[in-house]
Amino acid sequence: MDEMVSWCGPPDLETKFCRFGEGLSLSDGAVIEGHASVFGVPDAGGDVVEKGAYAAGLEALRRSGRAVRMLWQHDAREPIGVWEEVREDERGLRVRGRLLEAVQRGREARALIEAGAVDGLSIGYRVIRAEKDDRGLRHLKEIELWEVSLVTFPMQPLARLGKGGVLPAAEPEEAAGAAVAGLLADALAEARQLLAEGRRGGKGGSAGAVIAAGRMRGMLT
C-alpha cells in the first residue's frame, strides 16, 4: 500500500513497503550496492516503473547539485549514509553508497544487515506522470526521486541487496511470473470470499465472484 510521509519534502511523496526478502550483506566494510527499483515488474501495490522514468529527475538533481538521500525506513530524521551513485541501467535504478558508522543508526543498520534482519531497499518519490492500464496497474512514466531507504519490507520484491552487496540476477520471465502469480492469488481469494457470501445469501456475492473471475481471465490474456 502507498503511504504518505510527513517531512520536509513534497506533501505527495510516496513510499512502499511489502514483506519479502533474501539475505542482504555488505562489501568492503560498509559499502552497499543493488537495485532500489526494477523496470517492468508490478510491485505489491500495483505499480510498474517504466524504463527511463528516473532520467529527467536524476538529471535535475545533478544540475541543482542536490543528492538522493539514504534514510532508515523512510524516516527523514534518520539519515544513515550517502548514496555515491544513483543511475538507471538496463534493469532498473542502480544505487551504490556507504553507511556512515559515525552515526549510531548507521552502525545499527550494518549489524542488522549482517544478521539478515534487514534486506531491502525502497524509494521515496513523487509521481510526475503515470498511466493506468486496463488491468488496473499504474505505469509510472516519470518519477521525481527524493530518497532511497534501507527497509525491512520493500514493496518491490526484487529491490534488495544480495550476497557481497550485489543484487543476484533474475530472469525477467521469472520475475514477471512471480508478480502475476501474486495478483492471481489475490483475485482468487476475492472470488472465493464473494462466492461464500453468495451461498450465505449475501447480496451481490455471486455477481462479484463473476467479476473477480473476469479479472483473473484478463491477467492470463
Name the residues annotated as catalytic.
Answer: 74, 122, 147
Q: Element (H or E) spanning 84, and its range? A: strand 75-88
C-alpha cell at 33: 550496492
**Looking at residue 87, what DSSP letter applies?**
E
User: How distant, in Å, are the alpha carbons of 2, 67, 90, 172 from that of 95?
Assistant: 22, 12, 13, 20
Report the sign of the C-alpha dihedral through residues 34, 157, 26, 99, in that order. Answer: positive
| Residue 164 Rama label (left phi>0; alpha psi -120 to 50; beta) | left
Decide: 187 and 66 in contact? Cβ < 8 Å.
Answer: no
3-state secondary structure of 68: coil
Q: How many CA atoms lie within 13 A of 70 on its CB side?
A: 22
Decide: 37 and 149 in contact? Cβ < 8 Å.
Answer: no
